Each structure stands twice: as structure tokens, then as C-alpha cells.
Amino acid sequence: MTTTRDAGAPGLARLAGLIADETRAACLLALLDGRAWTAGELARHAGVAASTLSEHLGKLVAGGLLAEERQGRHRYVRLADARVAQLVEELAAQVAPEAAARRPRTLRESTAGSAMARGRTCYDHLAGRLGIAVTDALTERGLLRQDTGFALTDAGLAWFDTAGIRLARTGRRPLARACLDWTERRPHLAGVAGAALCRHTLEAGWCVRIGSERAVKVTAAGEEALSELLGIDPATLR
């Protein structure tokens, strides 16, 4: 009996093998904050020796999951592009219920987990209760449609323009995309619009990063702006 193996099987197996390592998975999840990390920072985060981490990074770079750049003696890595971030996000969402079921081992871990659930960056867009609140507000005001996949309406495009949030409409990245939120178990806004909105909240001081992971906190100015622009109750952002 002869069988015809799908031509994409070897590539898929190699990709799965790259991710199927706890240290490499930890690096990919850390890099979902959208920033470039040094090899030393990732080694400390993953709890492994620098030499061990360097070997793992080499495999991820060679496999196209990470991009590398050097500045002097420092080696920086980041996720290769938004498509890699989407892959990691969606895989992480599949295992989120298992992670959520584990009780925090320390007060610090519990506090960090609460901050991440309240608001965080998911590569380059907002997630957690903050991301869901913004997505719901855009939808309720007819600025975002979710009935046939995520799509900005004409009113939504005008809203971004009025708010001074520029949307780059070139390239293959979708303008709006649904990303499954692993803590809320509902989709939040990603894509070009999600990235632009997240970038604006940080640059305008509406949100600030807290801690050493991806958690963000809405500032008083952010509460005022989001209430004025989207009618979001400040109490839901705390």
C-alpha cells in the first residue's frame, strides 16, 4: 500500500519541534510584550544558563520565529513578525484553562497574575479586561463589527482619525483581527487597528507598563480619555 504524504508535513513538524520545548516556549511568551530582549534577560526569565539559552535562541532565529540584532556587545531578539505573535497567542490560549486552574504559589505570583488579567499587552495590542472593555465599547458604538469576523466600520475608521490614531493601511496585515484572550476567554481587537490603539495609549500616557512582564495600568488621564471617547466606566479598568 502506498501513501502520499502532504508536502507541508515536514515543515509543520519542524515548527512544532521548535516550540515543543519549555525553555523556548518561555522565551516566545515573554517576547509577546512586543519589545526586544537581550539574551541575558531571557536567560534569567527562563531560569537557565546563558550558554543554554544561546543555543535555544539560535534555533528559534534559524527557524524564523525570532529576529536578531546586535548593538555592541549586546544581542537582542524579538518575535520575527505579527504572524509569529499570532501563532504564539493562539497556542497559548489553548492551554490557558490549565494554567488558570493552578493556584498561585506566592503572593507575588498572585499579584502579578491579577495585574496581567486586568490589563496587558499581547504582542502589540491590548488584552485582559482592558482589551475586552475597549473591544466591547467599539462594538457597542458601531465602530467595530464582530458578526462576520472583526472589521472596522466606516464610522470606526472615522473614529480612529478623529482620535488622532493613524492606521497604516499598507502591507498584508489585516486592519482588524480577533485575538482570543486567554484570561477572558473572549476575543479582543488585534491587527493594525489594535496595534495603533495600543501604541497610542502608551505614547499618550493613558497606560503605563508595570512590573517586569506585559502588565499595563490605566492612568487617571487614560480613564478620562477612554470614558470620553468610548464611554468606558473607569471602575471597570481598575
Helix, strand, coil % over all residues of the chain, rounded to 5? 55, 15, 30
Check: CB of residue 175 under 8 Å from CB of residue 211.
no
- Give tens-digit pLDDT for 153-177: 999 999 999 999 999 877 788 999 9
Is the pLDDT score of 88 beyond 70?
yes
pLDDT band at 107 (very low <50, low <70, confident <90, very high): very low
What the block records as the C-alpha cell of 14 is 519542524
Candidate ranges 88-92, 170-174, 229-233; pick with highest mean pLDDT: 229-233
Mean pLDDT of all residues in the chain?
88
Q: What is the dihedral of CA 212, 213, 215, 219, to 10 degrees?
A: 30
Measured CA to CA, the distance from residue 151 to residue 224 in angstroms comes to: 26
Query: What is the structure's pLDDT at 66?
Result: 96
Is the pLDDT score of 13 beyond 70?
yes
pLDDT band at 35 (very low <50, low <70, confident <90, very high): confident
Give the DSSP H/E element, type plus range, for residue 74. Answer: strand 74-79
pLDDT band at 103 (very low <50, low <70, confident <90, very high): low
Query: What is the structure's pLDDT at 7?
Result: 77
pTM of the complete model beyond 0.85? no
Is the pLDDT score of 98 beyond 70?
no
If you average pLDDT over residues 1-23, what whole number do you get?
84
Residue 177, Cβ density class (10 Å: 0-12 exposed, 13-18 middle, ≥19 buried): buried
